[in-house]
Structure 1
Amino acid sequence: MSLHEAIVVRRDTVGISDLDDLRGKQVAVMQGDNAEEFLRRKERGIEIITTATFETALDQLALGYHDAVVMQRLVALRRRVAERNGELRESEEFNRTIMDNLPMGVAVNSLNPEVKFSYMNDNFPRLYGTTREALLAGDFWETIYEDQESREKIKKRVLADCASGDPQRMF
């Protein structure tokens, strides 16, 4: 029987990449976890510290109480994904706050040929002299450009510029 383990260390740690590198180190594991049983099965020269939860082990690692935490790889990966998702949410919130507070109209949309908005700040509808609700509920082109001839001309040019793939034409 083997354990598909993950060795978790602080970001600034060097020299720990496999089980042999843990010799002489203090390693935390969750009490009763397969990682504890695996490490105790064979003398490895590791000081094993048990904690009640993975969270406690990882918090203590972050505070410098231990050199590493050994846990099942799948558990470690799930925790890393959750951590990255949290970082992504924070980044999205930060970017949204910036865009919400810009003194100009900003929108993110798809165009094929209908305009579908995924984001717009409060200044975007003001720029066009309309409301967010009108932009989201109706046809963008008709809402913004009342004159049919002008509307078709502008729509045709915008669609052609986007279809070209040339960023200079899409600005």
Structure 2
Amino acid sequence: MSNTLCPCGSQQPLSHCCQPIHQNPALAIHPEQLMRSRYSAHVLGLVDYVVATYHPSCHAEDYRDAIADSVNSHWLGLNVINSEIAPSGEGFVEFEAYYQDGDEQYCLAERSRFLQESTDGVAQWYYIDGEYPDQAHQSEPELTPHSVPLQPIANPDKIGRNDPCLCGSGKKYKKCCG
């Protein structure tokens, strides 16, 4: 497995990229590292890791089944657009994650927010929430070798908790009308 490229798109071996963070999330010293490791965990089916890296205030354990459904999707590629740590100490990562459901391919575009908490003197980043960027102001995505053309997520009969809310607020369904 040491020669396997990391699913996060870094072009680094998994064993030198996200795998150590999967074993110890505190090794992610920047929110982008945590976001990439969470994407890789989706590809690798690591539900426990995804649940553990939600901020404690999210009560992710209560949503384990829905998170497992998301993790068990067929993930195709990741494109990180921007990442930053704001003066407030919050971290932000804007990305596009591509996945396939049946014969359809989709793009989850999000600006994720991360918070850093210290426990016993050890700082760790956690995913807290995310917003969907205004599609009208987005340029065409820069496709990576693993990504697919951008297609809308718009099946109201099968809306997931992480899909954009149908009301058009720009928030995730779970944080809005869900």
Q: TM-score range by the shorter chain?
A: under 0.3
Q: Given the two structures, how large is their TM-score scaled by the length of structure 1? A: 0.23
Select the structure of larger CA radius of gyration: 1
Q: Given the two structures, how large is their TM-score scaled by the length of structure 2? A: 0.22
Larger relative helix fraction: 1
